[in-house]
Structure 1
Amino acid sequence: MELLATIVIGCIGNEPRYQRALYERYYGYALKIVFRYIYRYDRAVDVSNDGFVKLFGNFSRFHCQEPEHLEKILMGWIRKIMVNTAIDALRKQEMMPEIGGIPEHIWEEADPGQSAEQRLFHKELIVQIKELPPSYRVVFNMYVIDGFSHQEIASQLGITTGTSKSNLAKARAHLQKKMNNDLQESDICSN
């Protein structure tokens, strides 16, 4: 924790060596967040890097009142910046769906503390979410995974709160149907 505090202080001071240390430490985490919104790997890398530029440009605004929770608070701040950067990129592309895969090594880099089973579940969930229509996918990611309220989603995306709620309900229904179909197929294959 002491090393992270040193890195954060260095980033606040705009020191490149500490910025690099933070970037290397949280790059996989940031890329996983962006990849939930931007599915082309090369584009997700660009958006992640844009997010880090924003992060470092605004590091003077980062404050942590509870040093014992520094990493948790920092990761939440990184997540917020990456989500907003990804949404900005989607908005510029008029929410065009992205396609592409993510290299296998990113799953291990992103959270080395996860078990193989957790990584597999996360990968399967991302594949399922990826198949949602773009408007449903973005609302689902923002509400379920990133914890935004419907009002925040509506404001960010320029839609009504009702549209946000409707898109979430449709996304959930689509995912449930897909999971039920997958379960039925696996039952047929195992018999």
Structure 2
Amino acid sequence: MDIARYIGSLFAFALIIGLLWWKAVPPVRKMMRDRQEAIRQQIEEAKRADERLAEAEKKYAEAVTEARTEAAKIRDAARADAQRIVEELRVRAEQEVERIKQRGEDHLAQQHQQAIRELRAEIGRLSTELAGRVVREHLAQDGNRQATVDRFLDELEQVSAREGEPGETTVGAGATAGEGGS
């Protein structure tokens, strides 16, 4: 009986194996194939991701290089603009200095002319005052006063006589009277 049980157990085992082979293995194989396919797709996606990453890193490096180049251009342009602005400001400052200098020279010339006018006016006033003082002192003496009056009267007579002559003008008479008065 042992053999019959052994054969029965073997038959039952074979039947279970066959049933498992028929019902369980195909879904497991399908599941394994699906899983392998999913893994293969993930590997391909990972390779594509690596390629995209490498491409992105390359583009990033190019963008950084381009940005540095552009920054260098902008920096050079800014330096050129700064140099141009400094030069313009220097020219403007020189023009302003020249304008202020010219205004100062003009002001100094005006002050010089004003001083000359004031000095001339003062000298004229002092001269008139001095001349008046000299005349007063001269006329303060009786003999000088009489001689001056006589000379003045003689000159008036000469002027009256000349007025009768043709070609003489009263301007000449005024000049003669002016010369005698000093």
The two structures have a TM-score, normalised by structure 2, of 0.16
Relative to total residues, which structure has the larger helix share, 1 or 2?
2
Bigger radius of gyration among the two: 2
Q: Answer 1 or 2: higher relative contact order, Cα 8 Å, separation at least 6.
A: 1
